Amino acid sequence: MEKTIKIPEGVEASFEKLKLKVKGKLGEVERDFYNRGTANIIKIEKIGEEIKISSKKDNKKEKALIGTTVAHINNLFKGVISGYKYELKIVYVHFPLSVKKENNEIVVSNFLGQKGDKKMKIPENVKIEIKKQDITVSGIEKELVGQTAADLEKLTKVCKKDRRRFQDGLFLIKKAIPSE
């Protein structure tokens, strides 16, 4: 079984030893497709302006691996062309929650009246903008941007309290929107 992906215009791709480097107008991303379990099963190669993913057999596991690899490569292309954006909302009912960006960290203060601040480091290649009650997380790597948005949401997770009454926190409202 084999699938080919055409490299979009304005995108440069280089491939060596199961590492794919993709360069576009928004930046450069590198992804290592090496996995001890999959290295012997699928073969990835660049032929001209296409990337070919193939396998020797045609069974269920190999079809799934090829499909996953194709999806990851397409996400890399979309990321360097248009980027990804996640949107979160700051919601508070009981105590006024404040979210600030200091240096390379996000600081959440006064969450449910707590004295201590909750902090999270911002990964490289991820931009976070805070405007009043809205937080925008953007970048060119879909997995990294999505994980950062999820970590922000998890930072203000309410534990040992009734979620119907304590509705304070940061909540994801839009995900994986191609930014323009």
**Hey, what are 149's tokens?**
């948005």
Contact 40, 30 (CB under 8 A): no
Over residues 48-71, mean pLDDT: 89
DSSP 8-state class, residue 66: H
Helix axis angle for 60-81 and 142-155, nearest 10°, is 90
Q: Are 1 and 63 in contact (CB under 8 A)?
A: yes
Q: Inform me whether the pLDDT recorded for 71 exceeds 90.
A: yes
Using 50, 70 and 90 to split pLDDT, how confident is the model at 179? low
Q: Where is 102: in which H helix or E strand? A: strand 98-102
Taken as a whole, the chain contains a residue count of 180
pTM of the complete model: 0.85
* Average per-residue pLDDT for the chain: 88
Arithmetic mean of pLDDT, 160-169 = 75
Domains along the chain?
A: 2-81 (3.90.930.12), 84-178 (3.90.930.12)
Residue with tokens 């809205």: 134
Q: What SS3 state is found at 89?
A: strand
